[in-house]
Structure 1
Amino acid sequence: MSSVNGNNPAIRKILIADDSATERVNLTRILETAGYQVIPAQSGNEARALAESQLPDLVILDIMMEDGDGYQACRALKRNPTTKSIPVVMISSKSNSVDKQWAQKLGANAYIVKPYTDEDVLQQIAAF
């Protein structure tokens, strides 16, 4: 993949987990337009399984999801020797500092607050 929009060329395959189909479609559009391959998941538990089998370069997790929330998925990914080095970006409408600190404590590498712009998402990914 070429480095479009200054993207980090090391990041090519991104797993996104959000229980909202609208959010998954929007994130997929942003990422595919920028040249990334996207692996969609509808829950934290599905994201954990896909991360282990597909080994994405980065994982984007919504916090509030059925069947395993983003916090649980992040903790599990960071404790798993197979997935612990994959950067995790949390994405949520929860914007207070406690949520951000908790995500960081569980191993998240970045935090994006909804609503976000395309540029917000791409800038966070480019930081890796």
Structure 2
Amino acid sequence: MSDDKSNYSRSGSIKNILIADDSNTERTHLKKILESAGYVVTEAPSGSKAFELAKSNMPDLILLDIIMDDGDGYQTCRKLKRAPETSDIPVIMVSSKQNDVDRKWALKLGALDYIVKPYNDEDLIQRLSEV
């Protein structure tokens, strides 16, 4: 991420977050954590819907699950990073997949970070504040 992209600097300017996860329970849990920390949250139940919402809403950050129907997290991250209008939006993968290969692949596709489920709520908020 280059320093000339002022909308997505590491200055704690993240306000609007898009959560993409096919689990309604997980989306609800994440939304509750994030909203209680002052973030505005939009939800997507699939990778395809996340891509559409990212283009129309231009969130400050995307939390992206890997295993989803209708566009998994890897495919969605690749599409987001290739599309000029969304390429600068930071993506953090949030997945139950704990293999180092998955983490490395996500980072290679352009993800900024990789958080393994289950996560500690406070640690999640701390990591977001560092973006």
TMscore range, shorter length? over 0.9
Q: Which runs of 4+ in 1 moved over 2 A?
A: none
Give the match's secondary structure for 2:126.
helix
- CA-based RMSD of the aligned residues comes to 0.8
1:53 aligns with 2:56: yes
User: One-letter code of the match for 1:85?
Assistant: D
| Contiguous gaps of at least 5 residues in structure 2 | 1-10
Aligned counterparts of 2:14 and 2:97: Cα–Cα separation in 1 = 26
Question: Does the CA contact (< 8 Å) of 2:12 and 2:130 recur in 1?
Answer: no
What aligned pairs does 1:67-86 form with structure 2 within 5 A after superposition? 67-86=70-89
Equivalent of 1:124 in 118, 124, 127: 127
User: One-letter code of the match for 2:122?
Assistant: E
Question: Does the CA contact (< 8 Å) of 1:18 and 1:24 recur in 2?
Answer: yes
1:3 alignment counterpart: none
Equivalent of 1:111 in 88, 111, 114: 114
Paired residues, what number?
121
Equivalent of 1:15 in 12, 15, 18: 18
Cα offsets for 1:52-108 (capped at 9, x unmatched)? 000000000000000000001100000010000000000001011000000001000
Aligned counterparts of 2:12 and 2:38: Cα–Cα separation in 1 = 10
Matched-pair identity in %: 60
Give the match's secondary structure for 2:70.
coil
1:44 aligns with 2:15: no
Question: Does the CA contact (< 8 Å) of 1:112 and 1:120 recur in 2?
Answer: no
Measured after TM superposition, the shift of residue 120 of structure 1 is 2.3
User: One-letter code of the match for 2:41?
Assistant: V
Aligned counterparts of 2:61 and 2:106: Cα–Cα separation in 1 = 16
